[in-house]
A and B are shown apart, each in its own frame.
Chain A
């Protein structure tokens, strides 16, 4: 049946009846074709799922409670939902090819939203994804941190608790609203410590034209029901006891706000200097909280930096670009580990400074897209 449909699609494309005929065939495939029960073999026999064929691998796994990260709603554009498909994935589609490196293609990596489950299929799924769950929660608090940054606290309803490592993120679902026709998921780092396990907090900066952030800023209200999946990600403290440099800006504050409180609670006393960059003074937030932590924790130093014209070095703030401040403060040959979270531009600029100071790639950890 697959072959017949493929031939008909190709014929339709060639004959000029393209749009109508192809649409009819796709509809027929969805409505009439029955792929029956298919088996998904996970991690070479570790687990086997009996599923109804016909849907994408991403959607099928989601239906089985396995939440592979995805930001584009299965449109084959974000390339987040990569999985290794060992067998039964059919040929690579034209949508997938440009999203994969030659090495990934050679290793059978696929874009799982573009792989249809039409027969038995064997896949490899990273172990950490089995710990990801879907959560239902209720917005407990929305707090303005700056003119374009909000803190969102979601009390968990079902399940009631979450386990995560500080530095990990959730994928928050923005439902259909306004002209947004269907739900989308966006990634946000958790900012509360793991001990606060009946809620998640995150720090969200308004993205102009952003579907999810626009929803958070214009529609979402305290008391609303929300859904998210998580936890995801491997941005977390290493096991070493090396001194640390943290560099962040804007909503990049989120993972560090979680990590520093976790370290305090756990009695982790790694020396840490946290450089936080902003343009103007109103762009700074959680300043009082950071100052209190500085007083309590002898291993923690907070260095806010303002780069805007006319800003002065009051209240312990430094002036200049965050990269300039790091460059001035950090000794050449530092053996510190560096952790960064912020925009790609900030991270790229900061990494250049760190390399010049001798902080090597294996001691640099960053989260560009949290």
Chain B
């Protein structure tokens, strides 16, 4: 599929060093379009929407932010802690406003699995259906995420 100039600008903003040190695409060899399409199929196959996933993450984000750096229970066997940071980061799509830096570590206290996401992650999933590229710090595999959050059908 051919990229429009705007698509090209988005991909450039996702490169390491453009908006953040590691970028948004990790070591994923797929095109942005393929990443979006693959993840959309996976989310749909679980009977979910990006909005449902984003809304759950947003609830966790808010609870973790209110705890000001302390761990907080966000569900059965789920603990979240927010590490705040100064400064804003824009969305690579542009024109979506600015998002607080910092990250939330979400831990399955029973199984020990952890996921890490940011305020921008919530927006990227909700607005763009983007779970970031594989190998990146903030890549969220939709099926793992849904499983951890207790959402969807597997």
Q: A residues near B, CB below 8 A?
A: 13, 16, 18-19, 22-23, 71-72, 75-79, 94-95, 97-99, 176, 178-182, 184, 186-187, 205, 207-211, 214, 249-252, 277-279, 307-309, 321-323, 342-346, 349, 369-370
Known: A16-B2, A71-B87. 16 other contacts (CB 8 A): A18-B2, A78-B88, A95-B94, A98-B95, A98-B96, A179-B21, A180-B17, A181-B18, A207-B86, A209-B22, A210-B85, A211-B20, A250-B86, A279-B68, A279-B70, A345-B65
| Contact (Cβ within 8 A) A349 B68 | yes
A-B residue pairs in contact (CB < 8 Å), sample of 30? A18-B3, A19-B8, A75-B18, A76-B94, A78-B98, A99-B97, A178-B16, A179-B21, A181-B15, A181-B17, A181-B18, A186-B87, A205-B86, A207-B86, A208-B85, A208-B103, A208-B137, A209-B22, A211-B20, A249-B84, A250-B84, A279-B68, A307-B70, A308-B69, A321-B68, A342-B86, A343-B85, A345-B68, A345-B100, A349-B68
Contact status A249-B68, CB under 8 Å: yes
Instruction: Report if A209-B137 is in contact (Cβ < 8 Å); known contacts: A179-B16, A182-B17, A307-B70.
Output: yes
Interface band, chain B: 35 or more
Quick one: CB contact mask for B99-142 with A, threshold 8 Å, 1 for yes? 01111000000000000000000000000000000000110000
Report the number of A-B residue pairs with Cβ-Cβ less than 8 Å.
136
B9 to chain A, nearest CB (A): 8
- B4 close to A13 (CB less than 8 A): yes
B34 within 8 A of A: no
Known A-B contacts A349-B66, A349-B68; A210 and B94 likewise in contact (beta carbons under 8 Å): no
**Residues in B19-63 with C-beta less than 8 Å from chain A:** 19-23
Interchain CA distance A277-B68 in the complex, whole Å: 9
- Are A308 and B70 touching (Cβ within 8 A)? yes
Verify A343–B95 contact, CB threshold 8 A: no
Q: Which residues of B contact A370 (CB under 8 A)?
A: 86
In the complex, the chain A residue whose C-beta lies closest to that of B16 is A179
- In contact, B5 and A75 (Cβ under 8 angstroms): no
